[in-house]
Chains A and B, each alone.
Chain A
Amino acid sequence: GQQLNQSPQSMFIQEGEDVSMNCTSSSIFNTWLWYKQDPGEGPVLLIALYKAGELTSNGRLTAQFGITRKDSFLNISASIPSDVGIYFCAGHTGNQFYFGTGTSLTVIP
């Protein structure tokens, strides 16, 4: 299957700090997506990106679709305790979605 490499694997930050995580692939995707998963729940879509170079925001979250179509990053500004969770990138091409391995975020109050 297609491999999406997500980094970092985990992050421990102070409340109020900004966070950055990224995802790279050996393949080109038509759409990049970022999900958040809370403990014991399914992933919830945060942001979808449709064009190379696109920069999209959703509140304190900003994500970009890389120019090469093989990467994407997600930034969270001014983190708060409820940002805790696992963040997944996903690439969509054809009929299937491919997911990264996740970044576990811990926010220390």
Chain B
Amino acid sequence: NAGVTQTPKFQVLKTGQSMTLQCAQDMNHNSMYWYRQDPGMGLRLIYYSASEGTTDKGEVPNGYNVSRLNKREFSLRLESAAPSQTSVYFCASSEMTSSDTQYFGPGTRLTVL
């Protein structure tokens, strides 16, 4: 039981490049989330998926797209990376969006040059 896993752990991109961050959970949770963490700003929600087949915007969705591939997997795509997207990205899951506890992955550290 690995919980929430994320790949890659580190990534360096040039401005304008695209990439997809992968997230998977093995807890049979319905809801999954993508956050970004910047110094002094806490965690901010990018997108979430309440259940398989649905996605919704969070607080900072611009420049990102998501895909809920199946119940286990939720990916985050940067179509044209910008330096402002340099951040640490965390995926999380919870039983439902109304659940009070989330479980986080270890994070992906992304640098955009």
Contacts and interface: CB of A to CB of B under 8 A. Distances in A.
Q: Do A and B bind each other?
A: yes
Contact of A41 (B33, B45, B48, B106): B106
A31 B44 CA distance: 18
B107 A1 contact: no
B98 interface: yes
A90 B90 CA distance: 15
Interface residues on B, range: 20 to 34
A88 B98 CA distance: 20
Contact of A100 (B33, B42, B104): B42
Nearest to B104: A42
Contacts, number: 57
Contacts of B92: 42
Nearest to A41: B106
Contacts of B100: 31, 33, 48, 50, 92
A50 B21 CA distance: 33
B69 interface: no
Interface residues of A, number: 26
Nearest to B109: A40
A96 B107 CA distance: 19
A1 B42 contact: no
Nearest to B31: A95
A33 B101 contact: yes
A44 B105 CA distance: 9
Interface string A33-63: 1000000111111001010000000000000
B2 interface: no
Nearest to A32: B100
Interface in A63-109: 88, 90, 92, 94-102
20 contacts: A6-B42, A33-B100, A33-B101, A40-B106, A42-B90, A42-B105, A43-B90, A43-B104, A45-B102, A48-B100, A88-B42, A90-B43, A94-B97, A95-B97, A96-B45, A96-B97, A97-B45, A99-B42, A100-B42, A102-B42
Interface of A: 1, 4, 6, 9, 31, 33, 40-45, 48, 50, 88, 90, 92, 94-102
